[in-house]
């Protein structure tokens, strides 16, 4: 039911790990399945993402989509990274089964949350980026689920 690319990224996920003192970090979760994803970004002075790492406590599709999403944003500017939507990630993986589409949304949201964190810290605006609703890293206390 999974494509070869999904299996490849699931079995050999790229960019797993953490970045110390990241330029931006975002943690998001899906209430229904309970899966959690965290993305770390290292962004240089020209707003280019020079490194990215992720940690995912979740299903195989979540691991594969995080892995592919990190590959897609690496080397891009923060603005270009906005084009890495869940749709783009799914296409790059040659598709996901319909019940697993929400897993790819987690990857998009985690990247947006990390970009938001970076933008906040540096007082910049990234076009099309709004405050992530599900960034659970800073809202542990007032969860509204
Ligand atoms: Fe929750 Fe995949 S089942 S992210």
Cβ atoms of 19 and 53 closer than 8 Å: yes
Active site residue 59: no
When pLDDT is averaged across residues 97-103 and rounded to a whole number, the result is: 92
Q: Atom of ligand 1 at shortest distance to CA of 100?
A: 2
Fold of 4-121: Sufe protein. Chain: A (3.90.1010)
Q: Work out the mean pLDDT of the chain and round it to a whole number.
A: 91
Quick one: tokens of 25? 């970090």
Query: Does residue 144 surpass a pLDDT of 90?
Result: no
Report pLDDT for 134.
Answer: 56
Closest Cα to atom 2 of ligand 1: 103
How far is Cα 60 from Cα 106, in angstroms, rounded to an integer?
A: 13
66 has pLDDT over 50: yes
Sequence-separated contacts (24+) of 87-90 with Cβ below 8 Å: 89/65, 90/65
Query: Which residue among 59, 63, 69, 107 is best mutated to probe the pocket of ligand 1, counting the most ligand atoms within 8 A of its Cβ?
Result: 59
Which residue out of 41, 72, 81, 103 is catalytically annotated? 103
> Is 107 touching ligand 1 by the criterion CB < 6 Å?
no
Q: Where are the domains of the chain?
A: 4-121
Give me the pLDDT at residue 141, please: 40
Ligand 1 geometric centre to CA of 109 (Å):
13
Q: How confident is the model at residue 139, as a pLDDT?
A: 43
């Amino acid at each position: 039911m999974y494509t070869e690319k999904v299996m490849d990224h699931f079995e050999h996920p790229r960019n797993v790990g953490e970045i110390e003192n990241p330029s931006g970090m975002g943690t998001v979760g899906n209430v229904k399945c309970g899966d959690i994803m965290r993305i770390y970004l290292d962004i240089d002075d020209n707003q280019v993402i020079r490194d990215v790492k992720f940690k995912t406590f979740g299903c195989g599709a979540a691991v594969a989509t995080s892995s592919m999403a990190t590959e897609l944003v690496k080397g891009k500017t923060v603005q270009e990274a906005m084009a890495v939507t869940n749709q783009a990630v799914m296409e790059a993986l040659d598709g996901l089964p319909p019940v697993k589409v929400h897993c790819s949304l987690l990857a998009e949201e985690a990247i947006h949350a990390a970009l938001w964190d970076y933008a906040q810290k540096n007082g910049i605006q990234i076009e099309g980026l709004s405050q992530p609703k599900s960034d659970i890293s800073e809202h542990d206390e007032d969860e509204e689920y």
